[in-house]
């Protein structure tokens, strides 16, 4: 890929960075010039989002991975509210309507797993996410606010989106289809969210950097949305174990209390399975995963 149009000085080296899993939505390169070492990001997606994750995220929250310029607003806000460094946008550019952003290269190594990490790393993660959750909004949608669902309308919007996800992506999967009615009833009994905040829908250790002492970067922010903070804990239960969750909780509760997930856990877990947040896991295994919060 010729990225020279984004730089005034000649590019010396380009290395493609891969997240370590297939079907990722972004192209990411490490670019070196005589003056700087930076990261360039762009979306691989050209057409309308058409897989379960990105179609669902666009329908439910309004985000579109092709709009990488939106990362500037997201990253700037996150930088102002959390202790976890988030890369600043240095430059932007387009080729044939495809958006590219040049961002800071942060220090640290990609976190491959939260399990087994030092307590200081996990507590810094907890405190960092809590500081993000202190930021409150009164809608569900995009961080820019160009797509908004009122909090009192969110539960019905969630039911409608789940119904469409099932009919579009799971129409011949009886196990998932047959659970939909029960989930609808559970959502009907949920109170509307009191407030919303920044939520990372694809919560995963590989979105973060660490120096083995603390979290040194939150680098993949393309799936940040405005939503109930409970969703972050639903995602975290699948990437932590009891020991790491305890350390995370210690950090988080320096800032605020963990929310009560009792009533929302099952419907929100069902949503995350429809979005294949951690892949095509058997539904019963997914819904019966260990409770950590």
Q: Which pLDDT tens digits describe the chain residue by residue (293 residues)?
A: 789 999 999 999 999 987 655 556 789 999 999 999 999 999 988 888 889 999 999 999 999 999 999 999 999 999 999 999 999 999 999 998 899 999 999 999 999 999 999 999 999 999 999 999 999 999 999 999 999 999 999 999 999 999 999 999 999 999 999 999 999 999 999 999 999 999 999 999 999 999 999 999 999 999 999 999 999 999 999 999 999 999 999 999 999 999 999 999 999 999 999 999 999 999 999 999 999 99
292 in a structural domain: no
Q: In the listed set 104, 131, 166, which residue is the last one of a domain according to the structure?
A: 104
Assess whether 245 and 275 both reside in one domain.
Answer: yes
User: Could you tell me if residue 161 is inside a domain?
Assistant: yes
Domain boundary, last residue among 74, 104, 134:
104
Burial class (CB in 10 A: 0-12, 13-18, 19+), 143: buried
Q: Assign residue 15 the CATH number of its domain.
A: 3.30.200
Q: Does 88 lie in the same domain as 214?
A: no
Maximum Cα interatomic distance, the chain, rounded to a whole number of Å: 60
Residue 52 covered by a domain: yes
Claim to verify: residue 80 and residue 124 sit in the same structural domain:
no
Q: Say if residue 263 is in the same domain as residue 247.
A: yes
Q: Are residues 94 and 150 in the same domain?
A: no
Q: Does residue 136 share a domain with residue 99?
A: no
Which domain-ending residue is among 70, 88, 104? 104
In terms of domains, do 131 and 150 share one? yes
Q: What pLDDT does residue 25 have?
A: 77
Residue 223 near residue 201, CB atoms below 8 Å: yes
- Whether 87 is covered by a domain: the verdict is yes
CATH of the domain at 223: 3.90.1200.10
Q: Considering the entire predicted model, what is its pTM?
A: 0.95
- Quick check: is 160 in a domain? yes
- Find out whether 111 and 117 touch, Cβ atoms under 8 Å: yes
Tell me the β-bridge partners of 42: 27, 100
- Looking at the structure, do residues 273 and 129 belong to the same domain, yes or no? yes
> Does residue 293 sit within a domain?
no
Q: E strand or H helix at 164, and its extent?
A: helix 154-169
Query: Is the same domain home to 115 and 71?
Result: no
Is residue 54 one of the residues assigned to a domain?
Answer: yes
Please indicate, yes or no, whether residues 152 and 84 belong to a single structural domain of this protein.
no
Residues 220 and 145 in one domain: yes
37 is in which domain, residue-wise? Answer: 4-104
Q: What pLDDT score was predicted for residue 1?
A: 76
Which residues make Cβ contacts (< 8 Å) with residue 145, sequence separation at least 6? 139
DSSP E strand stretches across the chain: 11-17, 26-33, 37-43, 89-95, 98-104, 109-110, 139-141, 148-150, 197-200, 208-210, 215-218, 224-227
Can you give the pLDDT at residue 46? Answer: 85
Per-residue pLDDT at 47: 87
The answer as to whether 260 is a domain residue is: yes
**Quick one: 129 and 223 in the same domain?**
yes
């Amino acid at each position: 890929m010729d990225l020279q149009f984004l730089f005034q000085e000649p590019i010396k080296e380009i290395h493609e960075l891969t997240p370590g899993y297939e079907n990722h939505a972004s192209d990411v390169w490490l670019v070196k010039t005589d003056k700087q070492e930076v990261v360039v990001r762009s979306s691989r997606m050209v057409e309308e989002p058409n897989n379960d994750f990105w179609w669902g995220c666009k329908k439910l929250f309004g985000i579109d991975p092709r709009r990488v310029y939106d990362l500037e607003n997201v990253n700037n806000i996150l930088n102002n509210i959390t202790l976890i460094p988030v890369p600043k946008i240095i430059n932007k550019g387009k080729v044939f309507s495809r958006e590219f952003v040049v961002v800071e290269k942060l220090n640290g190594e990609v976190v491959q797993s939260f399990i087994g990490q030092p307590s200081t790393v996990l507590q810094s993660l907890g405190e960092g996410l809590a500081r993000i959750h202190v930021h409150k909004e009164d809608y569900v949608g995009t961080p820019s606010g160009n797509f908004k669902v009122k909090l009192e309308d969110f539960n019905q919007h969630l039911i409608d989106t789940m119904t469409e996800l099932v009919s579009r992506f799971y129409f011949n999967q009886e196990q998932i289809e047959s659970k939909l009615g029960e989930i609808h009833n559970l959502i009907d009994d949920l109170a509307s969210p009191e407030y919303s905040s920044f939520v990372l829908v694809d919560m995963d250790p590989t979105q973060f950097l660490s120096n083995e002492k603390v979290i040194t970067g939150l680098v993949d922010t393309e799936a940040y949305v405005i939503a109930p903070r409970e969703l972050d804990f639903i995602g975290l239960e699948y990437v932590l174990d009891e020991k790491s969750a305890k350390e995370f909780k210690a950090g988080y509760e320096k800032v605020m209390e963990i929310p009560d997930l009792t009533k929302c856990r099952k419907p929100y877990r069902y949503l995350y399975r429809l979005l294949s947040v951690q892949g095509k896991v058997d539904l019963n295994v997914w819904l019966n995963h260990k409770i950590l919060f």
